[in-house]
A and B are shown apart, each in its own frame.
Chain A
């Protein structure tokens, strides 16, 4: 079984986001990432210029690199990956 048969189905990322970036825009952009079905964001802390948020992404085969790229494009800093779930796709 090749490595590519292991798919990412859930990931929780702790992110520091500038306050002017809207949660709606960020969550919609993340939902556009290939293999993503659901995106949920929870605000954990609010500062003068930034907000600490927890992003939960669920899908059948989430494109991790694209997720990271999108988060960075939206001027956000990734602080940690808090949870991750993968599964092995059954051969057809």
Chain B
């Protein structure tokens, strides 16, 4: 179908200006921030001579536009700069910390989806029933209690009071899968609850609408069992808004992960960024923001494309 293909290509092309704008903004962070990076790097050993040498080394004496392109070029070659204090290459730091953040977000979204979709479907099949009412209560909690607040409360209950689970820290999966999961249970639940609220509500609303369609009545009249009707037929057609909301919420999840990582002292990208802002370690702020924004843009792109796959009519309607 050439029209759908054309839409997909257009959508991919539209991502480019967004990426460029984002990179300009991230690049600007270091240059708009107060303070002189050369002074910060030299610290006590500052002298005009050394400063000039370092300035030339860091490429800061070039016109700003050229600096931008140098930075982008370096980035594409895998050189993202160095930590101002420890001089560790950023790529090393990120390769250590990114898996933590990714594990946290993927587990949270996975848990949320596994809980929310069945709950939403069940609530839609019997509106006003017990599942529906329980879900309404959970939803209220999920949208009102911020994820890091829930995380703190969970620590209060399960770690401080009951002592069932550890309150912080992280163990890599390769070291000990069991401990890795034990440390992640509370943060994952904290992040997942809000997502369960949104995703289940969207699933429920969409399923309610779909179940009223004529073809559903026809399938029931044919004698097909309720469960099969709901899951194999109705859900596929109700899926589109659900996919959209999952994609949108992933961004919110990334944002939430930044704070939750700090609550539970998880060594992820979020905690890295926040620590770096406090210590004015701007290259790290740059690198971290860049990575997270990239992931976010990527997820949005995939969601949009998935949306087109599920509902090709969107390719015809868009201006």
Do these two chains really belong together in a complex? no
